[in-house]
Structure 1
Amino acid sequence: MEVIEVKRGEKMDEILKKANTLIEAIPYIKKFSGKTFVIKYGGSAMVDEDINKLLIKDIVLFKLLGINIVIVHGGGPFIKETLDKLGKYSDFIDGLRVTDSETMEIVEMVLSGGVNKKIVNSIEAHGIKSAGVSGKDGNILTAKKKEIKNGDLGFVGDIKSVDTSLIKTLLEKDFIPVISPVAKDENFDTYNINADYAASEISSRLNAQKLIFITDTKGVMKDVNDEKTLISLMDLKGAKENIEKGIISGGMIPKVECCVKAVENGTKQVHIIDGRMKHSMILEIFTDEGIGTMFVKGGNYEKSKNN
């Protein structure tokens, strides 16, 4: 059968490019349908409405393709904005906000009552069921007070344990769980938990196929001033060596440590992507090259994305 050649203009080239992208996505769609992705929602996507709308559409597409989605979100800019409006100013120790009981009440209100429900509403506007919960619900996250050498942070916590029973129930009922990183300890005191660590721990307990960190950076680069030096694929040995060599430095260190810990404890693959790029999750997950940095355990694996 003869293939008909079509005279192509710029518009036709664009259409064919979209079609080729869809064809390229087929093996990934087949591979990931029925799997669980945990998405740590943060960065500019939290505050920029246009970016937020595009990312929500990506999440909805993942769900429609049969992927189980769990979202863990932060909300630092909204907490600061609310505290400033109330004239509530905090001290910081080693970059961490000292959180007294009054501040913790405000943090919980903003994260669990404001940011959380906004994400839920955005998802449900597309006809997808979503449920907003905090780490306190169903003992998803149990906290312990974060201890530091240089003082007392108040109600800032580390994760003591994770219970995924409620999350699994929501997934079985076809909901997208949206989780705020607020937890209680054994005395029922409430603590603020770092959202990156919460996402890492939850992903590991779920044995998720992927943990995706939505950030304001392209990924891990050998030279932070040169985006062409992006490291697209890194195993755990390489990640640890790059931290030791100083290639991974500053604020990227705790992010990468979360990636390493997640893979060590049960998550198959972890991605750091730039949420400011249009449809960044689709480009990272459903194309051969991807656009961010993916972390894998190591050993024998293909030197390409998502294998």
Structure 2
Amino acid sequence: MTQSKPTAVIKVGGDVLLDQAEREGLAQNIKSLTEQGWSVVLLHGGGPQTNTLQEKHGLTPNKVAGRRITSEADLTVVKQAIAGEVNVNLTSELIKAGLPAFGCHGASGQLIEATKRPPVVVTGAGPDPIDFGEVGDVQAINRELLQGLLALNVIPVIATLGVSKEGRIFNINADTTVVQVARSLKADLLLLTTGVGAVFRDLDDPDSRIKEVNREQAKALIDEGVIQGGMIPKVEEAMTLLDEGVGSIAIVSGRHAGAFEAVANGTGEYGTKIVS
């Protein structure tokens, strides 16, 4: 099955979805893309929503070096928060905007195949390997199923859970997963949405936004500390796609009307575009 339309894969963090203006802006930006003839696949996490629900259940979020350790009890909450609350609310937001959103998760039709992550040594967590519990690593994306959904002109809204061949569910990282989906589909555009919405030389200076960087410039910005924290692994992993058929990558906010379309067209008003 061929997909003639250009394809955009969009990752949305749970922190972005806490803000109503961001949710509404996201929906309108996706609508603008589809009206310009794009197919869209949307993946989301739900870290803050999971934390809140854990606390309601008397559980304490457990993170090592910023990475969540997921017990069996935690996984139950992750499923409720991500595949339940966040997925349903985001899907309904898109439907409200007149979009044919199709809410699902990684176990739906084995969209995201995963295996349990083995204990690993993590930077910043000492020399001993860490067992992350019910956390999985992506092994494969069901490209044929995704292409079939896109051929039906629906927008898959995917909660990033993973499933093993034996049907075991895992909590998986949304940033890593969206890269795998973009790679599998050979997407024309990968959008990483954030609250900040771009790379800035100075976060307090809106005029310091960096409109476009190539791979070498992005690496230099990491070395300089301009790109820092959780944005580093996002950018580093996304850059691996530039040699694998993915057209371009952008960090952008969905808050501003027309931002996604502007990034897709390369006009430079919003975000930071990473090109080969």
TM range (shorter): 0.7 to 0.9
How far apart, in 2, do the equivalents of 1:248 and 1:117 lie? Answer: 33
CA drift at 1:160: 1.7
CA drift at 1:118: 1.6
Match of 1:116 in 2: 87
CA drift at 1:34: 2.2
Match of 1:20 in 2: none
Residue 273 (str. 1) matches residue 252 (str. 2): yes
4+ runs of 1 displaced by more than 6 Å? none
CA drift at 1:291: 1.4
Question: 29, 47, 59: which is aligned to 1:76?
Answer: 47
Name structure 2 gaps, 5 residues minimum: 122-127
TM-score between the two structures when normalised by the length of structure 1: 0.79
Give the total of aligned pairs: 265
How far apart, in 2, do the equivalents of 1:211 and 1:160 lie? Answer: 20
Structure having greater relative contact order (Cα 8 Å, sep ≥ 6) = 2
How far apart, in 1, do the equivalents of 2:20 and 2:98 lie? Answer: 19
How far apart, in 1, do the equivalents of 2:243 and 2:75 lie? Answer: 32
Question: 2, 20, 25: which is aligned to 1:54?
Answer: 25
Match of 2:120 in 1: 148
Match of 1:243 in 2: 222
SS of the equivalent of 2:11 reads strand
8 Å contact 2:29–2:257 — kept in the other structure? no
46-55 or 214-223, larger mean C-alpha shift:
214-223
How far apart, in 2, do the equivalents of 1:262 and 1:202 lie? Answer: 11
SS of the equivalent of 2:43 reads strand
In structure 2, what residue type is equivalent to 1:98?
Answer: I
Larger-gyration structure (1/2):
1
212-221 or 170-179, larger mean C-alpha shift:
212-221
How far apart, in 2, do the equivalents of 1:272 and 1:59 lie? Answer: 15
Equivalence map 1:86-101=2 (5 Å): 86-101=57-72
Residue 203 (str. 1) matches residue 174 (str. 2): no
8 Å contact 2:10–2:193 — kept in the other structure? yes
8 Å contact 2:114–2:140 — kept in the other structure? yes
How far apart, in 1, do the equivalents of 2:204 and 2:241 lie? Answer: 27
8 Å contact 2:114–2:139 — kept in the other structure? yes
Superposed CA deviations along residues 67-116 of structure 1, whole A, max 9, x for unmatched, are: 10110011111111111111111322111121111111210121112211
Among the aligned pairs, what percent are the same residue?
Answer: 29
Q: 1:184 to 1:234 in 2, by over 3 A?
A: same
8 Å contact 2:43–2:159 — kept in the other structure? yes
Equivalence map 1:35-50=2 (5 Å): 35-42=6-13, 44-50=15-21
CA drift at 1:174: 0.9
CA drift at 1:286: 4.5
TM-score between the two structures when normalised by the length of structure 2: 0.88
Match of 2:97 in 1: 126
Match of 1:173 in 2: 152
Q: 1:247 to 1:47 in 2, by over 3 A?
A: closer
Question: 236, 243, 267: which is aligned to 1:288?
Answer: 267
How far apart, in 2, do the equivalents of 1:245 and 1:275 lie? Answer: 27
Q: 1:206 to 1:287 in 2, by over 3 A?
A: closer
